[in-house]
Each structure stands twice: as C-alpha cells, then as structure tokens.
Amino acid sequence: MTVRGKAPAKLNLTLSVSPGEGGYHEIDSLVCSIDIADSVVVSSRRDDKVNIIMHGLGSESIEYEDNNAVKAALLFQKTFGTRGVDITVYKNIPMGAGLGGSSADAASVLKCMQKLYKSGTDEEVKGLADTLGSDTGYMTYGGFARITGRGEKVERLDIPKKRALDIVLLLPKTGVNTRDAYRLSDLYNDSKNPNRTPEAIQALADGDTAALGGSMYNDLLRAAEYLNPEVAKARKELESFAPLGVNMTGSGSAVFAVFENDMFCEWAKSRYRGRYSCVRTRTIPGKPAEQEE
C-alpha cells in the first residue's frame, strides 16, 4: 500500500530568540505554511528496510544517515514496531533557506506512516517529530501557529482562509549556518529586543495586514546579514517595492515581503530585476490530507 503526502514549507513571520537552559535557545514565533511544498510518497514493505529516493534541487546528494525523512521513518518503526518503507521525495522547497524543507519531509513521512500502518495518535506522532527538529512537531499540523519553548509548544491559530497572505520570496544562492547565526545573535545580545509576536498575532486575528507587516521581525536577521551579506541585499531589494513588511525566515537565507493583495504581489514580481530567484507564494491552511492508494 502507498500513501502520498504534501510537505509544505513554512515562514517565520516573527522570531524572538532568548537564551535557554543548558545552552539551548527558547523561541517565540508566529509561523505559517505556504504553498511551496515537497511531495512525499511512502510505500509499505514486507521487511524492515527503509529505502529513500530523492529527486530535485540537488537533494540527491543528501547522505542517507543525514536525511531527516529517513530518521523519521526509522524512529516511527522503532517506536511502533512496524515494517519498513520505501520513501520517495520530490523536492520543491529550496534547501538551506530557512523554509523548513527537511523538517517538512520528516513530518510528512511520520504522518504517512501513521496512516499506512494505522499506528500512533496525532499527539504521539507530534512527540516523535519534536525529537527531530525544533519546527518538525509544528509541521505535523501546519497552518498558522505560535510556537514557543524549543519549538515543541504549538498553539494553533484559527485564521480564515480568506485572510491568506500574499508574499514574494527572494532566494539567495548561499545559505546561513544556523549554529553560527544563533551564536552571533547571542554576541549581539539580540535577546534584549522586544518580543513582538503577541502584537503580530493580534494583527493577524484582526485581519490588519498592514499592522502585521509592521510587526514582523527576526532576532537572527542581524547575525545572518553579517554571515551572508546576500541576505541584506535581498532584504533591501524587497524593501524597494514598499511592501507592508519584509522579514527573513528562520536563520535564512530566504527573505520575504508581505503585500496588500495579490495584484501588488504580481506587480512586484513582474518588475523584479535583481540577481536572486524570485517566487510568488501564499499562505495555506494546516493539515494537508494524505492520499491513500
């Protein structure tokens, strides 16, 4: 039997970072799913092997041991005593950009295996996902949410589909090392910045997209721009279109702008003449359905 799943990318509309216990960082972030997604196909096996085939965007070079989709499958298998699986991932989410592609793939594999083997509750699957990455648990649900702690605390937000955000995304060719970004942010003492996540959530709930744009921020932005000047260049290029707000997602290097509506979004994309890949996207609701074959 085969189960297919969609693995949507995410954006951090806000990201507050503060020092946590044992050298870890605590975050407070307003996140959302967007309509850029990997396709994941998971098929049952009669033995215990876990195989994977990656397609697209250079994902073929990811080592088996480093692949989060493989880690997810092995963890599910160990936890619930299931047989193995054959996994195929068709990559559409740019890698190393802060869009959460590897976490999305891992979350989708867990959800597909849950359906394939009829094992585990949603809470149990989310718990497994939390061990694989700070945003992987959130990605078992997707949509708009507030994530706190180390990313394991997820407060889902019920935002009407008609309030989808219109977004232009710029993708520098080089990424940002996540550990270096957090380390440098600590040196900058960016944890002293005010946490504007509650303000952004209220603007989103009120349907005030202009206020939401003005509330967007990322405590890792300054560090990322130092580590990769392309981030700063991309941000300035987007700001030249006077959007409602510009931000970086995760630790970068993708930078995005929120526009008032689809028309302005299309206008900005059509007139962009910069050096980076430019993508138009929109936010989507959570819990994309798996399709069983």
Say what the pLDDT of residue 22 is.
67
Q: Which residue of the set 28, 105, 130, 135 is catalytic?
A: 135
Say what the pLDDT of residue 290 is.
58
Say what the pLDDT of residue 293 is.
59
For the entire predicted model, the pTM comes to 0.95
Say what the pLDDT of residue 242 is.
97
Say what the pLDDT of residue 193 is.
83
Q: Are strands 14-19 and 217-218 parallel, antiparallel or unpaired?
A: parallel
| Distance between CA atoms of residues 8 and 219, nearest Å | 24
Tell me which of 18 and 7 has the higher pLDDT: 7
Say what the pLDDT of residue 73 is.
98
Q: What is the mean pLDDT of residues 131-142?
A: 95
Say what the pLDDT of residue 121 is.
96
Phi/psi at 210 (5° precision): -65, -45
Say what the pLDDT of residue 189 is.
79
Q: Which residue of the set 10, 91, 111, 126 is catalytic?
A: 10
| Distance between CA atoms of residues 187 and 200, nearest Å | 26
Residues 6+ apart with CB under 8 A from 66: none
What whole-number percentage of the chain has pLDDT above 90?
89
| Distance between CA atoms of residues 110 and 88, nearest Å | 13
Is-contact 28 38, C-beta < 8 A?
Answer: no
Say what the pLDDT of residue 108 is.
97
Q: What is the mean pLDDT of residues 126-145?
A: 96
pLDDT in tens, 35-77: 999 999 999 999 999 999 999 999 999 999 999 999 999 999 9
Structure-token match 């972030």, residue found: 29
Say what the pLDDT of residue 289 is.
54
| Distance between CA atoms of residues 57 and 186, nearest Å | 32
pLDDT in tens, 68-117: 999 999 999 999 999 999 999 999 999 999 999 999 999 999 999 999 99
Say what the pLDDT of residue 109 is.
98
What amino acid occupies position 112?
A: C
Give catalytic status of residue 135 as yes or no.
Answer: yes
| Mean model confidence pLDDT for the chain | 94
pLDDT in tens, 216-234: 999 999 999 999 999 999 9
Give catalytic status of residue 105 as yes or no.
Answer: no
DSSP the chain: -EEEEEEEEEEESEEEEEE-GGG-EEEEEEEEEEEEEEEEEEEE-SSS-EEEEEESTTGGGS-GGG-HHHHHHHHHHHHHT---EEEEEE--SPTTSSS-HHHHHHHHHHHHHHHHHT---HHHHHHHHHTT-TTHHHHTT-SSEEEEETTTEEEE----GGGPPEEEEEE-SS---HHHHHHHHHHHTGGGS---HHHHHHHHHHT-HHHHHHH-EETTHHHHHHH-HHHHHHHHHHHTT--SEEEE-TTSS-EEEEESSHHHHHHHHHH--SSSEEEEEEEE-S-PPPEE-
pLDDT in tens, 251-260: 999 999 999 9
pLDDT in tens, 170-211: 999 999 999 999 999 988 877 778 999 999 999 999 999 999
